Each structure stands twice: as structure tokens, then as C-alpha cells.
Chains A and B, each alone.
Chain A
Amino acid sequence: MANQVTLPRLGQGMESGTIVKWLKSEGEAVEKGEPLYELDTEKVTQEVEADFSGTLLKIMAGEGQEIEVGKAVAVIGEEGEEVSAESDDSAEGEVEDPTKVTEEEGAEEGEPAPEREEERKRGREADEPAPRPEVAEQRQDGGRVKASPLARRIARERGIDLSGLRGTGPEGRIVAEDVERAGAAPAVAAPAAAAAEAETIPLTGIRKTIARRMTEAWEAPAFQITMTADMSAAIRLREALVERTGEGEARPTYSDILTKVCAVALMRHRAMNALFAGDEIQLQPTANVGIAVAVPNGLVVPVLRNCEAKTIPQLAAERADVVDRTRGGKLQSQDLESGTFTISNLGMYGVERFVAVLNPPQAGILAVGAIEERAVVRDGEVVARPVMEMTLTCDHRSVDGATASEFLRTVKQFLEAPGLAL
């Protein structure tokens, strides 16, 4: 088989050479290592040895012709072997660039002196292998977070978890800047923190339930009505109840009084004590009042049953127990079932009035604000009275405005004159 003889690179920076003289002629036998031709490079003229043994079948570069490094200059093969015309392509596929050669010639003629300086420059600029192999991928394994010592120290000092950070340093390493950006995000005002990523909280457990239930609630056609109750009598009632509370017993709260009066009012306006069941409305026999309790990750509504039949101290005891269990995460599923009405009280936060979202399929939910001293008119006189605003949200599929108003008026009357609830 025929082998191409290509122009070798005899030194760094050598781009081309001129064949001064062929030392063998076509058809002549050649031994590997035997001088084949004389080559003139920029620096020297030297003999070039044959790389293969065989017969010099074809000389492709004539004497005096300048050839680029890597280009074929001859073919050595077996005697009589055919040499195809296509085979004179460069083995390395180098592209010819005639202008380059001209420039180099010019430069050498113009500046004969700094020959060594030019050589030195080539050495300085010679490509070097990368000093360190990039092993980023392999180093990621083992679950070890790659972070600089400084980044680790800052994270340790500020209580930042490195595993949640993305490294922007070399090889994906977490560097100080990454940690500082993460640490600054919550403390800095919104515009400066724009570059930081939002914290992601997966929607799981209780929040998923809240999202689903509240979205369902939003589908119900709801309306709201508001009344304000004078709480003077209710305050006296609570004081009397608290006075009578024994050691270790739950102290009655306004919520407990509300639970009781709502329960009695529900029994008198049973249309409000209803569940909407798609094709029917179910009026419930007992007032099972749910009370909204805030927990760290959301809101739950444990239910107190048969409230109409219980005393306020009994309700206080049950409420205290269920709230404790709610906050302790010890609720059982039946604690949350069978509710017929819900009370949501944000009075303790100083909220004056708010609108609660329905708790389907219940017909109503009462949103209760804070008890506040306000200027009210009594017998033509402006006087200060402790008042409380209540907003009732109703499912219009179950109840109408008049029914709701009658119920709410009863609640108001009971709060202002608790004896009426007897």
C-alpha cells in the first residue's frame, strides 16, 4: 500500500518549508531513515529522512516549491502500484494561506537581528496544557457540597445552609459572594434583593388542604352582613364567670360566650345551621361550632359539639382541651368533623372587622373583631361603650339576607342581654 510523505514540522513555529533538492528520483528504491530530500526552513537547510521503505512512486513537490507543513510531498509504495490523483490532499487538512507565508518572509528580511528574540516570543506564547484538569463533574459526587473555606466560615457564622446554594466559583464552587448574597436576601429591601432567588415552600400537608378547601369555598356565592354589639353586659358576664372559675379550670373567654350565644341563636334560626349538599340543604339538629385556630403552618378548625346544650364553663373546658391538642399536633380526625357553623375571632390581634371565607358546606361563618371602647349615642348623648363588630359570611345557596340578618340580630341581642339566651 502506498504511503504519503508529508512535510514534517521540524521546530516549533515552523509553518512551511522549501524543498531544495530531491535526493531520490521517482522509481528509485528508498529505505526508511534514508535521506529523501533537502529542506530549507526559515532557520536551516537540512536533510529529511524517509518515513517508509519502498519505491518512491511519485514526487509531488518540485524543487524550489514552498510547501506547508503537513502537505504531501511524495508517495512511497510498492513498485508498480497505482497512485491516485486525489491522494495529494493534506493529511492534516491544513488550509492554505498564501498571505501568511508572504508576511513571514517579509518580516525575516526586514529584521534579521532579533532572530532569537522572535524565537523566544514563540516560546513564551506557546500553548500550554491546562495546568489542572477540569474535574468538576467527578468532584460533585458523594453529596459533599463544594465550597471555599471562606464561604464555609461565613455560612457557619450566619447560620446559612450551604446545600441550598448554587456555586458561581470555579468548578461550581460556592464562594463567599454566593453566601453573602444568600445571607443578605431576607434582610435587604426588595430592590436590592432582586438578584436573590425566592424561597420555595412545597405545597404539602395542611397548606395543600387549605388551598383546596378555600378554592372550593370561593366557588360558593357568598354575601356578608355586619352588626356591632355593645359588649358591656357580655363583659360583666365574663367577669362573673371568671370569678367563679375554680383552680385548674379553664377561664371562660369571649370566644366561649360567643360560641354559646351563636349555638342558641342557631337553634332559633335553624336555617343558618345548615349544610349545602348540592341537591339539598341539610338542617342540622345540633349546633356543632367550629373555632378557627392558628397553627404554625396554617389554620385548623376543631369542632365543639352540641354547644346549645352546654354551659359556658363546659364549653371553655372543651375549647381549652381541643386548642391544646391542636397546637400540640394531637388532633384526631373526628375533632374536625360534623361542624355546622364556624366562628373566626381575630379580636386578639386588634382587628376591628374582617370578612371570613366560608367553610363549606356550612351555611355561615362569623368573623369577630376586637372589643373596643367607641363613642356611641345613647339617649341622645355621646357616650363611650365597649363594642364589637361581627361580620357574617353566608352561602347564598343555603340562606338569604333576611334569614342571616335575623340570626345575626339575635346574636347581637344575646350579647347585649345574655339573659335572653336562656
Chain B
Amino acid sequence: MPELTYREAVRDAMSEAMRRDDDVFIMGEDIAEMGGSMGVTQGMLEEFGPDRVRNTPISEMAIVGSGVGAAIAGMRPIVEIMYQDFTTLAMEQLVSQAAKHRYMSGGQVKVPLTVRTQGGAGWSPGAQHAQQLEAWFVHVPGLKVVFPSTPADVHGLLWTSIYDDNPVLFFEHRTLYGIKGEVPDEIDGIELGKARVHREGEDVTVVATGRLVHEALGAAEEAEEEEGISVEVVDPRTLLPLDEETIVESVKKTSRCVVAHEAVVRMGFGAEVTAIVQEKAFDYLDAPIERVGSKFVPLPFAPVMEEFVIPHQADVLAAIKRTVGKK
């Protein structure tokens, strides 16, 4: 199995789809000659040409809107929103157009659109270029929301998203682009709505997304070594649809739950997981569910402040310890 970076895995999934299928094309700001602001689409213009690797004007509304139109017309477009903060400019197209046409047309129209975007703190992008807004879209019926944390997952999930007949919001994390991992020789889709259990444990379940999957795995190791606490780490990977069964079964086994993401805690994705767990595993809970996430402030630019605001391994570890009654 080849080892790819998260960035290369994204590129590989898109390129493979474009090689096999003329209906797939990519579109976004600076994705052609520049290769994307995060370098994800580098080399794709050379391979696929300007008709299928298209630079757009700086108008997110237009990018998503034309993607919706192309999808309805039978293409499988992949559009890139440079920073997920900019999805705010395309909200109407995402929430009220892409998400609604299939329903409103009684199934006569499909919108097989993939909207790739990225975000995440840890490199001083400031308050307007690193928000984690995935929870907003989980609130919208008609959308699918994917948030992979490893090269293998981003590879397989992007493939499935491209071939899903519904609009998919596909979130990548800025600080994960460089991490490496093995991906299958032959590209293989990963079903949407299936969680990955990264690590099995007996005492507490950590449900983590994005960068926090890695922080949680570090915390799990530390908890095991230092305190003998056995931690299960579950990455839902797809936030909508959500693999509730895997999460609930895990909590039924461990009796304790921590949810962790980089987005702010308040009304974050973890709030939904918390609600589901208490509804479906109330009688199995031996401790209050802990939530880990960013403090409720705009993300500061100053590195020292930024690090203070966002969650880290130590925060996950502290939450794990609280659930088992250790300080």
C-alpha cells in the first residue's frame, strides 16, 4: 500500500475520479496554475487541462451556485471553498439550493455536488480564516457532512462523496495536510455514516473529529500509561449521516464518554453526540459526558492566545480523568 500525505490522498481521489469519469471536474479560487492555496490541486491543471480544472472569480456564491447547476445538469462537480469561513458567503446556495432540490422536485432532480473546504487553527490564521463551522451544516436536512482525519479516510470518503447523489460538505483540516498514512493501492470508497474505532478501550469512549482524533489518541496513550485508564477512541468521520450505533455501543461498553473537537464547545457537534448518548445509553452512563473544544471567543491571532483558546491533548486527557473521577 502506498503511503500518501493527507493532501496527496485528497488529490489522488479527485484525480482518479477525473481519470475514470468525464463528468467529474474541479472548480475554485486559484486551484489551477497556483494549485490551490493549500497546494492540494497542484499538477492537476497539467494533467486534466483548464476545462476540468477551473479557476473561478472570488465569489463563493457563484462557485457553489454553478456547482449546483452543473450537478443538476448531470455532472459530478467538486468545488473548493478556500477557507470554510467563506462558506458563509455561499450559505443560500448550500442550505436552500443544494440541500433542497432533490426533495422539492420529488426526486426528479439530484444534486451530486461535492463541496471541499478546509480550516483549522494552530498557525495563526486569525479570527476569519480558521473557524470550524462543520456543526452548522449538520443542522441542515438534505446535506451530508464529512470530516476525515487520516489519509486513508480522506481518500476513501472523498471518493464516496464524489459518487454520492446528494450534496456533500467535505471538511479537511489545515494542520492534517502533512500527515502521512497508507492508502489502498486500488481506490476504495468508504461508506458514509460509518465510524472508525481507532483504538479499543474499556473505561471511557472519546468521540473525536478532525485534528482532535490525533490529540485524543495521544491522550489515550497517556491515560493508559500514567493512570491505567483504558480509552476507546471513535472517529465518526461522517457527521451526517452519523453512525450512532457505533458511538452508543461503545459508550454502553465503557459507561463514560468524552466528545472532542476543535470547534467551540457551545452548540458544537459534540453537543449533538452528547444528546444522542444520553438518549440511547442513559442507563449505562456512570459519569457526566465531558465536552472538549475551543473556548467561546473569536480565534486570536497571537500564537500564545491561539494555543490557549484551542483544545489540545492535555485537555482531552483532563476530561478523560474527570470521567473516571481522577483529578
Residues of B within 8 A of A140 (CB): none
Cβ–Cβ < 8 Å partners of A124 in chain B = 307-308, 312, 314
Binary CB contact string for chain B from 292 to 309 against chain A (1 if under 8 A, 0 otherwise): 000000000011111111
Q: How far is the CA of A289 from the CA of B312 in the complex (A)?
A: 83
Considering only CB atoms, which chain B residue lies closest to A126 in the complex? B308
User: Which of the residues B284, B304, B325 comes within 8 Å of A120, measured between beta carbons?
Assistant: B304
A13: Cβ under 8 A from any B Cβ: yes
Complex Cα distance, B285 from A369, in Å, reads 56
**With A124-B312, A175-B325 given, is the CB distance from A169 to B286 under 8 Å?**
yes
Whole-angstrom distance from the CB of B287 to the nearest CB of chain A?
Answer: 6
Band of interface residues on B:
20 to 34
Q: How large is the interface on A (under 10, 10 to 19, 20 to 34, 35 or more residues)?
A: 20 to 34
Q: Is B150 an interface residue (CB 8 A)?
A: no
Minimal beta-carbon separation of A15 from chain B (angstroms): 14
Kindly state the separation between the CA atoms of A377 and B115 in the bound complex, as whole angstroms. Answer: 107
Task: Determine the distance from Cα of A120 to Cα of B304 in the docked complex, in whole angstroms.
Answer: 5
Q: Decide if A169 touches B325 in the complex (CB within 8 Å).
A: yes
- Chain B residues lying within 8 Å of A128, measured Cβ to Cβ, are 308
Closest Cβ of chain B to A144, distance in Å, is: 16
Taking the closest CB of chain B, its distance from the CB of A344, in whole angstroms, is 52
A34 → B minimal CB distance (Å): 27
| B219 CB, nearest partner CB in chain A, Å | 13
A176 touches B303 (CB 8 A): no
Report A-chain residues with C-beta under 8 Å of the C-beta of B306.
Answer: 120, 123
- Tell yes or no: B255 within 8 A of A by CB: yes
Query: Would you call the interface of chain B mostly helix, strand, loop, or mixed?
Result: helix
Q: Which residue of B lies closest to A177 (CB)?
A: B286
Supposing A149-B282, A168-B325, A175-B325 touch, asked if A123 and B303 sit within 8 A by C-beta, the answer is yes
B302: chain A residues at CB < 8 Å are 119
Contact B287 A123 (CB under 8 A): no
Smallest Cβ distance from B174 to chain A, in angstroms? 15
The answer, yes or no, to whether B51 is at the interface (CB within 8 Å) is no
Q: Chain A residue with minimal CB distance to B315?
A: A128
If A149-B282, A170-B322 touch, whether A119 touches B304 (CB-CB below 8 Å) is yes
Contact A175 B307 (CB under 8 A): no
B227 contacts A by Cβ under 8 Å: no
Is the CB–CB distance between B285 and A150 below 8 Å?
A: yes
Q: Given A168-B325, A170-B322, A170-B325: A152 and B283 within 8 A (CB)?
A: yes
Q: Quick check: is A12 within 8 A (CB to CB) of the other chain?
A: yes
Residues from chain B with Cβ under 8 Å of A12 in the complex = 304-305, 308
**Chain B stretch 264-301: residues in CB contact (< 8 A) with chain A:** 282-287
Q: Say yes or no: A148 contacts B286, CB within 8 Å.
A: yes
8 Å CB contacts to B: which residues of A316-344? none
Chain A residues near B314 (CB, 8 Å)?
124-125
Within 8 A of B (CB), among A155-186: 168-170, 173, 175-176
B304 touches A151 (CB 8 A): no
* Complex CA distance for A148 and B255, rounded to whole angstroms: 10
CA separation between A419 and B73, bound complex, in Å? 120
Q: Are B308 and A175 in contact (CB under 8 A)?
A: no
Report the nearest A residue to B326, measured CB to CB.
A170
Determine the chain A residues whose CB is within 8 A of the CB of B308 once the complex forms.
12, 123-124, 126, 128
A interface residue numbers (CB < 8 A to B)? 11-13, 116, 119-126, 128, 148-153, 168-170, 173, 175-176
Q: 5 tightest CB-CB pairs across the interface, nearest first?
A: A123-B307, A123-B304, A123-B308, A153-B283, A150-B286
Question: Knowing that A122-B304, A148-B286 are A-B contacts, what are 13 other residue pairs whose CB atoms are under 8 Å apart, sorted by A's residue number?
Answer: A120-B304, A123-B304, A124-B308, A125-B314, A126-B304, A148-B285, A150-B284, A150-B285, A152-B283, A169-B286, A169-B325, A175-B287, A175-B325
